[in-house]
């Protein structure tokens, strides 16, 4: 949903949208080179044609990754066990391997979703809690939907766009540059407005004033103000940007998750976080996200250090 693409095997992370700068979204650029567009489209169409069998190749890659990086898998298992103390060591290792599998599936589905029609997305992928979006639109003109690095945040954006929601987010630069170009191109042609982290704060507030909704991740900030909260069994730094913008704009802060269920994706949107202090709202956001993530715990990706006491 934003990039915010983070915590995965490649170490992608998302900057918190809090810096003060010129409010200008990433400009639509010329399409990527023809070869990239053809490759992207071919993978998307092939994944569509294969249906659920598209996962066979990436599952094999995930399994190979686990075999060659047993130490990283063991660290991931320890984090899963800390988040869920009831897990036995063997179950924790199984969940860690499942996290690798789910992460690779999510990466493939970034391209798979590009070949979906919006009508197909609306029809096949359910959204629970949409009434909170409708109420935010009616009473405030916009809202702030906040997710964690769990499930598929890109699919969450696609599902929201398929229902006509005007959506704005933050995207860090990918490397190499050609990958960044094709991802920006793919997201913008879906209707997603994208800011870079350094231009985000003012631009996101302006987006709210224009009746747009924000889609943000808060659990792996790379810059800007943060506050330490209890999350997934320990102290974690969360961006204070979402709560601060909610207080400044008067728009509601809505915790949400988007996760895969069998061959479909599902969004759960929770009720607004009660208004309070920035720190208090951020802790409530962390608590709500933690509870929502419990619906699909294997779709959390703790491949890198999570808590401040393990860094």
**117-183-285-279 Cα dihedral, nearest 10 degrees:** -150
* Beta carbons of 48 and 109 less than 8 angstroms apart: no
Report the SS3 class of residue 215. strand
- Tens digits of residue pLDDT in 184-208: 777 777 778 887 776 677 888 899 9
- Tens digits of residue pLDDT in 67-100: 999 999 999 999 999 999 999 999 999 999 999 9
Look over the chain and give the mean of its residue pLDDT values, rounded to a whole number.
Answer: 86
* pLDDT confidence band for 5 (50 / 70 / 90): very low
Answer yes or no: is pLDDT of 11 > 60: no
Which phi and psi (to 5°) does residue 281 adopt? -65, -35
End-to-end CA distance of the chain: 27
> How many whole angstroms separate alpha carbon 170 and alpha carbon 249?
18
Which phi and psi (to 5°) does residue 27 adopt? -75, 140
* Whole-number pLDDT of residue 175: 63
| pLDDT over 70 percentage in the chain | 85
* Beta carbons of 154 and 110 less than 8 angstroms apart: yes
* Beta carbons of 272 and 165 less than 8 angstroms apart: no
What residues have CB less than 8 Å from 303, skipping those under 6 apart? 7, 8, 9, 72, 75, 76, 99, 100, 103
* Beta carbons of 171 and 214 less than 8 angstroms apart: no
Answer yes or no: is pLDDT of 54 > 80: yes
* Whole-number pLDDT of residue 101: 97
Angstrom CA distances, 237 to 17, 99, 179, 229, stand at 14, 22, 29, 6
What residues have CB less than 8 Å from 13, skipping those under 6 apart? 4, 5, 6, 7, 172, 220, 222
Answer yes or no: is pLDDT of 216 > 50: yes
Angstrom CA distances, 205 to 3, 147, 154, stand at 18, 18, 21
> How many whole angstroms separate alpha carbon 92 and alpha carbon 87?
6
* Beta carbons of 41 and 115 less than 8 angstroms apart: yes
Average pLDDT of the residues in 271-282: 98
**169-48-302-97 Cα dihedral, nearest 10 degrees:** 180
Beta strands in the chain (DSSP E): 127-128, 143-147, 167-170, 193-195, 213-217, 226-231, 234-239, 253-261, 264-269
- Tens digits of residue pLDDT in 140-150: 999 999 999 99
Average pLDDT of the residues in 167-181: 72
Point out which residues pair with 168 in neighbouring strands: 193, 214
Let me know the angle formed at the C-alpha of 154 by 235 and 228, rounded to the nearest 5 degrees.
Answer: 15
Burial status of residue 135 (CB atoms within 10 A of its CB: 0-12, 13-18, 19 or more)? middle
């Amino acid at each position: 949903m934003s990039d915010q693409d983070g915590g995965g095997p490649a170490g992608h992370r998302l900057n918190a949208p809090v810096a003060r700068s010129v409010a200008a979204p990433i400009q639509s650029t010329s399409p990527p080179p023809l070869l990239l567009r053809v490759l992207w489209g071919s993978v998307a169409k092939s994944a569509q044609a294969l249906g659920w069998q598209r996962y066979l190749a990436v599952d094999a890659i995930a399994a190979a990754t686990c075999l060659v990086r047993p130490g990283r898998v063991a660290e991931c298992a320890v984090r899963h066990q800390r988040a869920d103390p009831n897990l036995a060591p063997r179950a924790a290792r199984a969940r860690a391997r499942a996290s690798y599998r789910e992460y690779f599936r999510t990466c493939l589905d970034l391209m798979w979703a590009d070949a979906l029609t919006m009508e197909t997305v609306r029809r096949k992928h359910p959204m629970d809690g949409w009434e909170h979006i409708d109420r935010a639109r009616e009473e405030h003109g916009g809202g702030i939907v906040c997710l964690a690095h769990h499930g598929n945040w890109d699919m969450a954006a696609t599902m929201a766009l398929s229902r006509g929601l005007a959506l704005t987010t933050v995207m860090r630069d990918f490397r190499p540059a050609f990958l960044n170009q094709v991802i920006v191109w793919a997201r913008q042609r879906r209707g997603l407005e994208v800011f870079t982290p350094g231009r985000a704060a003012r631009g996101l507030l302006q987006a709210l004033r224009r009746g747009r909704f924000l889609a943000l991740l808060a659990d792996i900030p790379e810059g800007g103000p943060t506050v330490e909260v209890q999350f997934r069994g320990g102290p974690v730094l969360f961006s204070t940007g979402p709560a601060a913008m909610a207080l400044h704009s008067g728009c509601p802060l809505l915790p949400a998750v988007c996760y895969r269920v069998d061959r479909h994706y599902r969004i759960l949107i929770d009720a607004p976080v009660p208004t309070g202090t920035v720190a208090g709202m951020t802790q409530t956001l962390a608590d709500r996200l933690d509870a929502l993530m419990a619906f699909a715990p294997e779709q959390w990706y703790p491949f890198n250090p999570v808590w401040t006491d393990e860094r």
